[in-house]
Structure 1
């Protein structure tokens, strides 16, 4: 089996429908991709209560991350008068695409960035899986078991040694 051309395998752009128009987000440079990955990792560490590398965050603060991840679509969106929430959602969706993949970006986009809409709730998961399993689990079949001590063994332990 031979390797296929990488361009045919990777999603090189991300089409995002915003306020009646579709903006195409081009794949970022390796530098932007690495920076976005570092930011996503830092955010995950911070969300878990860990200590974040301040250098990663200060580097991101110095640069316009949204402009970098959206590329030319950023200026198009601004010139078209796209609302701030729409631009922000598009940029964060692009960051998800860069850090993960197109499927994760689509889930994020369609959930409008709401974490509670990203993962289905417990009731929805159960209804899709057909409900709780009512079959009792089978006991061990290893052939070993723990039995209570017999009366004879109990008496042996109770006798004083001679």
Structure 2
């Protein structure tokens, strides 16, 4: 079996619908992809209270990252007068695609960027898709602790010793 041509296996673009038009965002170059992943990682570290690589974040501020990740779609969006929130949402969606995958980018796009709309709702978490899965008993703890209540010991002196 031989390797198939990679460009035939991968869909190397995003198609983002905005105001009745679909913009095709091409796959980024390796340089843009690697830089985007580094920036997303550094931002996540900083958001979690860690110390992010300041050089990476400074480089992001110096360059037009949105134009880089959107590629040719950026110029088309600007020429068409796409509003800033839509362009920003498109760029961040593309960054999610670059740093994660197309499914994550689609979830982000469809949530409108609202994290609470991306998480499954409470009802979905409580009722899994399979009824069999919800009726399966979970394994007991192997931590060595017991959750079974222990009967209280009789009080001293309340019972007479039998001979």
TM-score tier, shorter chain, comes to 0.7 to 0.9
Cα-Cα RMSD? 2.2
Where does residue 85 of structure 2 map in the other structure?
A: 85
Alignment partner of 2:23: what SS? strand
Equivalent residue, structure 1, for 2:160: none
**Does structure 2 conserve the Cα–Cα contact (< 8 Å) formed by 1:11 and 1:102?**
no
Secondary structure in structure 1 of the residue aligned to 2:2: coil
State the partner residue of 1:159. none
- Give the TM-score, by structure 2 length: 0.78
Pair 1:49-2:24 in alignment? no
Secondary structure, in 3 states, of the residue corresponding to 1:7? helix
Structure 2: where are the runs of 5+ without partners? Answer: 142-163
Q: How does 1:17-96 map to 2 (within 5 A)?
A: 17-96=17-96
1:64 to partner: Cα distance:
0.2
Listed as ranges, the matches of 1:1-162 within 5 Å are: 1-129=1-129, 130=131, 133=134
Secondary structure at the aligned position of 1:31 is classed as: helix
Q: Given the two structures, how large is their TM-score scaled by the length of structure 1?
A: 0.78
d(CA) in 2 for partners of 1:133, 1:85: 41
Structure 2 CA distance for partners of 1:67 and 1:135, relative to 1, 3 Å: closer
Distance in structure 1 (CA, Å) of the matches to 2:139 and 2:94? 48
List gaps (5 residues or longer) in structure 1.
141-162
Native 8 Å contact 1:18 1:86 kept in 2:
yes
- Tell me the matched-pair count: 140
1:125 Cα offset (Å): 1.8
Offset of residue 134 of structure 1: 6.3
Kept after mapping to 1: 8 A contact 2:14/2:26: yes
